[in-house]
Structure 1
Amino acid sequence: MGRIDESKPFMPVRIAVLTVSDSRSLAEDRSGDVLVERLQKAGHILAGRAIIRDARDQIAAQLRSWTLDPEIDVILSTGGTGLTGRDVTVEAHRDVYEKEIEAFGTIFTMVSMQKIGTSAVQSRATGGVANGTYLFALPGSPGACKDAWDEILVWQLDYRHGPCNFVEIMPRLDEHLRRK
């Protein structure tokens, strides 16, 4: 596992949290609350928060909108990553991605295996990049959000984490757009 280089400055990241649910309100959004609490505790900035219904086009529209907002560096969505007919968050994310971070889902599955055994196979957590913004689709349970944050994202969204992290390459995520 990597390490934190205390000689480097911490760089807060601006993170938006999107909850995908047909049944939850903001007051009942425990998974969103988990992510907000953890990102703020880590020193990052909550740049936006919304709840949207399980509708692929609406989810993709919200993701696209946030990827075009220069005040948002990362989008964390929770919910809609399962196998049922209404679970369309992964498809919406993939509609938006320019590049998928395939290893994110793999590492999330490895982390989940330690907690819930073979039930981890039912998760379709995913990550990607669009318009210079990172996007991560997490399952809708608070436990899965804790696992994703505590075991992966807290490290990869910390500029001081070595040997490498997502933050250090942020300035180059949209370099292909600037060359035109």
Structure 2
Amino acid sequence: MSRIDDSKEFIPVRIAILTVSDSRSLDEDRSGQVLVDRLQAAGHTLADRQILPDERADIADQLRQWCANPDVDVVISTGGTGLTGRDVTVEAHRDVYEKEIDAFGTVFTIVSMQKIGTSAVQSRATGGVAQGTYLFALPGSPGACKDAWDEILQKQLDYRHRPCNFVEILPRLDEHLRRK
């Protein structure tokens, strides 16, 4: 089972938060704030925070900008992962991904099933990698953001987490792009 290896030193990562919403402002962004509060409490650094409307090209452009920024290791978006016509965050993420982390959505669904039962089937949470940066798209509810952080991301973004974690392979995500 998973555990924290206290003999290893914690390594903070730099995380950008994107809220996708046609109606929220920064003051009203409870889901984004949940993520900011949790990442900072865990010892990570908030690299940037933005709010964008549900526009696929704009979302993808922002994701690409953060992926090109050496001061951003992880991007977490919240909102726009549902089934309605304006929910385009998943498509924007997939426009940017080099590799999808298929099991992220599966594990998120398992976590959600324990909280909201079969309503979890409506989530399209996803994760991927682009330009050496991790990207995760979460639903727009504060509860879903808490669940994703507390049950998945907090552990996987902790270098001390065993048997494995995302941080330990972070330096190798873009190894195929480097000259040999």
Query: Which range, TM-score by smaller chain?
Result: over 0.9
- 1:152 is aligned to 152
- 2:82 is aligned to 82
- 2:119 is aligned to 119
- 1:130 is aligned to 130
- 1:70 is aligned to 70
Deviation at 1:179, TM superposition (A): 2.6
Amino acid at match of 1:103: A
1:107 matched to 2:107: yes
Distance in 2, matches of 1:34 and 1:179, equals 40
Distance in 2, matches of 1:56 and 1:179, equals 33
- 2:29 is aligned to 29
Amino acid at match of 1:168: E
Distance in 1, matches of 2:69 and 2:30, equals 26
TM-score when scaled to structure 1?
0.99
Distance in 2, matches of 1:26 and 1:52, equals 10
1:14 matched to 2:14: yes
- 2:5 is aligned to 5
TM-score when scaled to structure 2?
0.99
- 2:139 is aligned to 139
Distance in 2, matches of 1:167 and 1:97, equals 18
Distance in 1, matches of 2:169 and 2:39, equals 19
Distance in 2, matches of 1:100 and 1:40, equals 26
- 1:46 is aligned to 46
Distance in 2, matches of 1:5 and 1:29, equals 34
- 1:166 is aligned to 166
Amino acid at match of 1:102: D
- Aligned CA RMSD, in angstroms, stands at 0.6
Distance in 1, matches of 2:167 and 2:55, equals 30
Deviation at 1:30, TM superposition (A): 0.0
Deviation at 1:142, TM superposition (A): 0.1
Amino acid at match of 2:169: I
* SS in structure 2 at match of 1:120: helix
1:95-130: CA deviations, max 9, x gaps?
000000000000000000000000000000000000
Distance in 1, matches of 2:138 and 2:110, equals 14
1:77-98: CA deviations, max 9, x gaps?
0000000000000000000000
Segments of 4+ moved more than 3 angstroms: none
- 1:177 is aligned to 177
Distance in 2, matches of 1:138 and 1:178, equals 31
